[in-house]
Structure formats: structure tokens, C-alpha cells
Chain A
């Protein structure tokens, strides 16, 4: 049980992490706003295209507030963002951004959630097993496969899967045409190939980290002592090795979740899956600035949040880190 002093330190550590995350979010918001509005190129003219009348360009510049000083625009945007007002899309029907991205956000959450639910247990299982059986056939096979797969980008893995499972053995749809507000969970066949692609492309990293931390934990003195004391090997693995490799594993899971946020764009575009990645890429192509800002902020915040949660959980599960504070 942590005493009063150490639990004080614990709360302080957690508060500090939260503070750092908030500052990071603020800096990122500034960078997103600056990158999307300050860089060369008149956004208003770019959005409306070459045939736009000067009046239309002027009106759009007005709507975007491009005449005001930068600091004022940024603060107004940030204020609206904090209140949950994401602005209005510049493309097509001029929908409110929050309405426009609601369904894509849900779809991406479904895809990412399904991937993590399958990927994490699988990677933990293979990682721990190859760590325990270091140097044996399974371990060597896993190492070879993961060394190969970490190098291959998601869209190449996906394209190969499409060739195998949608073209040569046509058992699955090559594209995930989830339309409108249909929940992708209700058409699971559309999820199989995207999820499989993400698992294959992402599992290698997690397996590596779990494996190495298992090997390190199995080589410690207390595992040796437990062995000499006659504790069964299975119990050593579950009780000592797994628990002691928890901290690096949580960090690796968080890194995998963060990788997923980046890798998901490509997979969504590959399978025409209607998520935020696809929405963002489309928005970048037509320079729909409010949509870009909203999605970029959303993903960056998710990124920061994953990191924060992983840090806090690590502090909570690993007593060694607590006393180190």
C-alpha cells in the first residue's frame, strides 16, 4: 500500500502529465491553424477554383475572416473550437463541420476499435509465447515475418490481400462501400479486409516489444529464484514475467494505437471506407480548410489522449515508477 507521501507524489505526477498534455494540445492547435491558413496560397481563391468571380472570393475571404490579424483569427477559432463549434464546410452544401464528420468519426472509431480488440490480444499472445520460447521455431518464424512486415506499407499489404481474397479467391468485397449512416458493424464483411490489413501491418511492432520485455523479465533474478523454489513454469510466466513486462507493453500498445491513427488514412482510402481518413484526404484535395482543421485537431487530440492515458496507467500499474518520483 502506498503511504500518504507517495500517493501525494502519485497525484502530482499525474497532474503534471495532464498539464503537459494540455500545453501540447494548445501548441498543436496553433500549428494546425497556422499551417492551414498562413502558408502561401490564397485559400479562398484555391477553394473556389480558377473561374471564381472576384466578388465570390472576397465574400469567402470575409467568411473565413482572412482580413483580420492572425492572432485575432486564431483566438476566435480556438474559442469556437473549445465551445465545440467546428465551423462550416467550404465545399458543396456548406454543412456544419460537426454534422459532416459525425458519421466518419463513428465509422473510424468502429474500424480502429475492431482492429485493436483483435490485434492487441493476438500480439500479446504471440509476443509472450515467442519470448518464453526464445530461439525456437515459433520465435524464429515470428521474428522473420515481423522483420519483413514492418517494412511493408499498409496499402501494399492491403493491395495484396485484395488480390488474394477479392480477386483470385473472391470471398470478400474489394471495397467497403458502407453507405450513408449505415453502421459498419451491421455489414461486417466490409470490415474484414480493412481490419485484417491493419492487423498484419501493425502487429509486428507490438509483438517485438512484448517479446523483448518478456525475455528481459524471464532473465531476472526473481524468476530464477521462483524456478529454484519449484514454482511451475506456467505460473512463472503468468505471475512474474507478464506482470513485470506490463509497463513497456502498455507503452507499446499506446504506440500501436497511435500508429493506427496514421495508418488508418491509407487503409480507409484503399478500401473506400467512409471514415475520417477518407474525409480528410478529400478535404485536403479540395482545400476545405474548416474540415481539415477539425479532423486534424480531432486526430491530434486522440493521439495526445492515448499517450496521456498510457502514461497514467503505466504509473498506476508499476510500483517502481511510483517510488522513483
Chain B
């Protein structure tokens, strides 16, 4: 694997890759800013009926209006926030639960370890989207299902990673000396082990955030998550696709937003992963 990183792409140190990462990092930053703060600069109320239906792009409505006469630009500017925040919430919940399980499994072993491995096997026998859909059948559609479902999907993987990282540092000198000092398990896990596995966990969390965003977008598209009339990129694609021939911008604008956001997160994540694997090598 000398010249290859874990994705099997050669590490080209040439200008083209770095340049591309730089461009995509800027794009990602802009998209994140749009997602989080876009609603502040939206010219109209994103849920308000502000004009005629199906207006094509013009000076008053840069991206035109949708079937109900809502301003597409305002909806796009406001439509990323909830999905991004839900993805963050899901990953934060998953990391909190997963790290606790992983730390205990790695440090104590035994039953937690065995249960963890089996739980992971079971989850691997289920497409993530199907799992959240089944949960939605029980809990009913809504944002709670998105956070719970996406967290559940991620917990075993995070726990496994945390476990492996914990195993790596559990026998180091500083942990052993803490044991000799007579410190309790909780204190050792929090003060000695957690800070040392944190970089691994954080790098992994970035990749998981990208995955969580995509699952959440998919579920919103399916109508399981964020409910209309709330503005959301994926929901916009779903609600406007029947009118795509009348006013294509209602679909083009949110499609471009999801694509640009997803690609930039993926490429920046890939760049971080490459740098880390180079650092370790």
C-alpha cells in the first residue's frame, strides 16, 4: 500500500489536487454559510406567498417562484439550515453514546465488547435508509426520527473506532501510572484516554457528518423528515419535481445546493483523511 492511501487513490502531491481541495474548501465554506445564515439575507419570507405561481427568474425573484408563489431564492437560502443542524445533532448524539460504549469496551472488554460486535453485525444487515424508515413507522414522520435514526445507524461504527483507539492507548505508560496512582475508571477514561483518542474520533466525525447529511436529505426527500411548508433543499426537489417543465429553477437551485455542499464536504474530508494517513506513515 506504499503509494496508496486507504481509498486507493494515489497521493499526488501535485498542485492540481491541492488546488482542487482549496477551491472546494472555499465552496464548502460558502455553502455552509448559506445553510446556516442564509435565512438572514433572504429577500422574502421563505414560507410566504409573495407572488404569482411559476414566475420565471427576474429582477424581483432571482430564481422565480414555485407552484404556490413562494420566492425560490428565499427558500433556497433558508433551506439548508435545518438539515445541517439535524445532521450535527445526530452525530453529536451518536458520538456521545458511541464513545462511552467504545471506551468501556476497549478498557474493560468482556460483555460490552461482545454485545458491541454483535450489534454491529445486526446493523450491517440493514440498509441505513430502511432502518430509519422502519423507525419512522413506529415513531411517525418528523425530525425526531431523523436524529434518532441517523444516530442509531452511526453508534456501532463510532463505538468500534473508539474501542480500537482505546485499546491502542490503554497499555501506555501514562494510563498505567494513573492506575498505579489509584485513579478510578471514570477519571482514567476521561483524563487519560479520551484526550488521546480525540483526534481520531474528530476526524471520523467529519466523514460521518457528510453521511448523516446525505441520509437526512434522502429522508426529507422521501417526506419522512422535515414536513412542508418548512423550507428544505431536499423537500423542495420533492415538491417541485412535478412542475419541473414549468419552472425548472425550483429544482435546479436546491439540487445545486445539495450537490455543491455534498461534494465539497466529501473532498475536504478526503483531503483531511489523506493528510492524516500521510502523517501516520
Does the CB pair B218–A153 fall under 8 Å? yes
Residues of the A chain whose Cβ atoms lie less than 8 Å from the Cβ of B125 = 24, 27-28, 300, 303-304, 307
B116 to chain A, nearest CB (A): 15
Does the CB pair B130–A261 fall under 8 Å? yes
Whole-angstrom distance between the alpha carbons of A154 and B259 in the complex?
A: 10
Say if the beta carbon of A231 comes within 8 Å of chain B.
no
Does the CB pair A211–B133 fall under 8 Å? no
Other-chain contact of B134, A167, A261, A270, A292 (Cβ < 8 Å): A292
Does the CB pair B267–A174 fall under 8 Å? no
Q: Among B130, B137, B139, B270, which residue has the most Cβ atoms of chain A within 10 A?
A: B137
Does the CB pair B122–A27 fall under 8 Å? yes
Whole-angstrom distance between the alpha carbons of A167 and B258 in the complex?
A: 20
Residues of the A chain whose Cβ atoms lie less than 8 Å from the Cβ of B237 = 155-156, 159
B215 (CB) vs chain A CBs: closest residue: A153
Other-chain contact of B258, A156, A208, A259, A283 (Cβ < 8 Å): A156
A218 to chain B, nearest CB (A): 12
Q: Say what secondary structure dominates the interface of chain B.
A: helix
Residues of the A chain whose Cβ atoms lie less than 8 Å from the Cβ of B130 = 261-262, 265, 280, 296, 299-300
> Interface size of A by Cβ–Cβ distance < 8 Å?
62
Say if the beta carbon of A284 comes within 8 Å of chain B.
yes
Other-chain contact of B122, A31, A150, A153, A296 (Cβ < 8 Å): A31
Whole-angstrom distance between the alpha carbons of A31 and B9 in the complex?
A: 38
Say if the beta carbon of B135 comes within 8 Å of chain A.
yes
Whole-angstrom distance between the alpha carbons of A120 and B257 in the complex?
A: 30
Whole-angstrom distance between the alpha carbons of A35 and B131 in the complex?
A: 9
Whole-angstrom distance between the alpha carbons of A135 and B8 in the complex?
A: 12
A268 (CB) vs chain B CBs: closest residue: B222
Does the CB pair B270–A265 fall under 8 Å? no
Whole-angstrom distance between the alpha carbons of A150 and B141 in the complex?
A: 27
Within 8 A of A (CB), among B119-170: 121-122, 125-130, 133-141
Say if the beta carbon of A46 comes within 8 Å of chain B.
yes
Residues of the B chain whose Cβ atoms lie less than 8 Å from the Cβ of A284 = 133, 136-137, 141, 224
Does the CB pair A262–B223 fall under 8 Å? no
Does the CB pair B259–A152 fall under 8 Å? yes
Does the CB pair A211–B8 fall under 8 Å? yes
With contact pairs A208-B7, A212-B4 given, residues A156 and B259 touching in the complex (Cβ less than 8 Å): yes
Does the CB pair B7–A266 fall under 8 Å? no
Does the CB pair B8–A215 fall under 8 Å? yes
Within 8 A of A (CB), among B245-267: 245, 248, 251-252, 255, 258-259, 262-263, 265-267
Residues of the A chain whose Cβ atoms lie less than 8 Å from the Cβ of B245 = 166-167, 174
Whole-angstrom distance between the alpha carbons of A38 and B139 in the complex?
A: 9
Say if the beta carbon of B37 comes within 8 Å of chain A.
no
Residues of the B chain whose Cβ atoms lie less than 8 Å from the Cβ of A263 = 129
A61 to chain B, nearest CB (A): 16
Whole-angstrom distance between the alpha carbons of A284 and B133 in the complex?
A: 7
Within 8 A of B (CB), among A277-325: 280-281, 283-285, 287, 289, 292, 296, 299-300, 303-304, 307
Does the CB pair A262–B140 fall under 8 Å? no
Does the CB pair B218–A143 fall under 8 Å? no
Other-chain contact of B218, A259, A266, A307 (Cβ < 8 Å): A266
A70 to chain B, nearest CB (A): 13
B1 (CB) vs chain A CBs: closest residue: A216
Whole-angstrom distance between the alpha carbons of A29 and B4 in the complex?
A: 41
State the 10 A-B residue pairs at the shortest beta-carbon distance, nearest first: A212-B8, A39-B138, A262-B127, A151-B266, A151-B262, A292-B137, A262-B129, A151-B263, A35-B138, A159-B255
B residues near A (Cβ < 8 Å) are 4, 7-10, 121-122, 125-130, 133-141, 210, 214, 217-218, 221-224, 234, 237-238, 241, 244-245, 248, 251-252, 255, 258-259, 262-263, 265-267, 270
A residues near B (Cβ < 8 Å) are 20, 24, 27-28, 31-32, 35-41, 46, 134-135, 143, 147-148, 150-156, 159-160, 162-163, 166-168, 174, 208-209, 211-212, 215, 258-259, 261-263, 265-266, 269-270, 280-281, 283-285, 287, 289, 292, 296, 299-300, 303-304, 307
Supply 18 A–B pairs (Cβ within 8 Å), ascending by A. A24-B121, A36-B137, A151-B262, A151-B265, A153-B218, A159-B241, A159-B255, A162-B241, A162-B251, A163-B244, A166-B244, A168-B248, A174-B244, A212-B4, A281-B222, A289-B137, A296-B133, A300-B126
14 new A-B contacts, CB < 8 A, other than A168-B248, A284-B133, are A24-B125, A39-B135, A41-B139, A151-B263, A153-B217, A154-B218, A160-B255, A162-B251, A166-B245, A167-B248, A281-B222, A285-B223, A300-B126, A304-B125
